[in-house]
Amino acid sequence: MEYKLRKVEEREITSGILKASFKMWMDTVEADVVIVGGGPSGLTASKYLAERGVKVVVLERHLSFGGGIWGGGMGFPYITVQAPAHEILKDFNVRLEEVEEGLYLANSVEVAAKLGCGAIDAGARILTGIVVEDVILKENRVCGVVINTYAIEKAGLHIDPLTIDAKYVVDATGHEASVSNILARKNKELKLEIPGERSLWAEKGENSLLRNTREIFPGLYVCGMAANAVHGGYRMGPVFGGMFLSGRKVADLILEDLKKGR
């Protein structure tokens, strides 16, 4: 390696970034599936959809993906995962340690990083710093999302949003269930009751999560903690088997729907 860099002009840097960004955004005006939230459930779903050739866009409010996974339990950087969901982490090349029969430990920083890598390598597009502030609702179906930048949201500026058309939208926004809440709040005639999550009961929360992972309104699926928040399920703390399996389930449900041409 020669330790001498090529000369570079400022305009080359700027025009290179703009050219790539506009090309990417022009290709993001519509997608098969928009997943809102780049936490464990959303990233898992995105990998299993993208590797089957589905055009997937993950929109994440913050500049980094991973959601609630980075900090493990109260800042101790490990999460627990129950069988058979550890098989999903194997698909992402995450290293696991079996601590009890069928119960595994994984380092939370490694999980967050590898979920993102796995999703990107499978072909999912992850856009960070983007907030979903509404949905497109036509003829009793969610058919896309309304987006703005996190910087604009945080500054409180009144700037009109842009949109992304989608065949399916997935609310993977965690405890907030923000997409489902927006739909319910703005469209009272739909009579969508969203009770929010209950207190912590790991076993119950994990099991109900999988039942609650489903299409809650035409075009809108919920997965991850959002699925329990929408149905009044329990929270579960730093046990993540349900999150990964919920992401996998929503991908399978959507693949089935796409196959049927719904």
Q: Which residues bind ligand 48F (CB under 6 A)?
A: 36-42, 59-62, 67-69, 131-132, 172-176, 178, 224-226, 235-238, 240, 243
- Measured from the CB atom, is 62 or 139 closer to ligand 48F? 62
- Measured from the CB atom, is 62 or 211 closer to ligand 48F? 62
Residue with tokens 């065949």, as numbered in its chain: 167
**For residues 110 and 68, what is the distance between their CA atoms, to the nearest angstrom?**
13
Query: String of b and e for 12-40 (b: at least 16 CB within 10 Å)?
Result: eeeeeeeeeeeeeeeebeebbbbbbbbbb
- Least distance to ligand 48F, CB of residue 248, Å: 12
- Measured from the CB atom, is 10 or 187 closer to ligand 48F? 187
- Least distance to ligand 48F, CB of residue 50, Å: 17
- Measured from the CB atom, is 54 or 230 closer to ligand 48F? 230
- Least distance to ligand 48F, CB of residue 44, Å: 8
Cβ neighbours for 235, distance < 8 A, ≥ 6 positions apart: 175, 197, 198, 199, 200, 201, 205, 225, 228
- Measured from the CB atom, is 54 or 179 closer to ligand 48F? 179
Query: String of b and e for 207-227 (b: at least 16 CB within 10 Å)?
Result: ebbbebbebbbebbbbbbbbb
Residue with tokens 């290179």, as numbered in its chain: 16
- Measured from the CB atom, is 1 or 223 closer to ligand 48F? 223
- Least distance to ligand 48F, CB of residue 87, Å: 18
Helices 40-50, 241-260: crossing angle, 10 deg rounding: 40
- Least distance to ligand 48F, CB of residue 60, Å: 5
- Least distance to ligand 48F, CB of residue 9, Å: 36
- Least distance to ligand 48F, CB of residue 57, Å: 11
- Measured from the CB atom, is 19 or 147 closer to ligand 48F? 147
Residues 61/129, Cβ–Cβ less than 8 Å: yes
Cβ neighbours for 167, distance < 8 A, ≥ 6 positions apart: 31, 32, 33, 143, 219, 258
Residue with tokens 């009044």, as numbered in its chain: 232
**For residues 143 and 41, what is the distance between their CA atoms, to the nearest angstrom?**
21
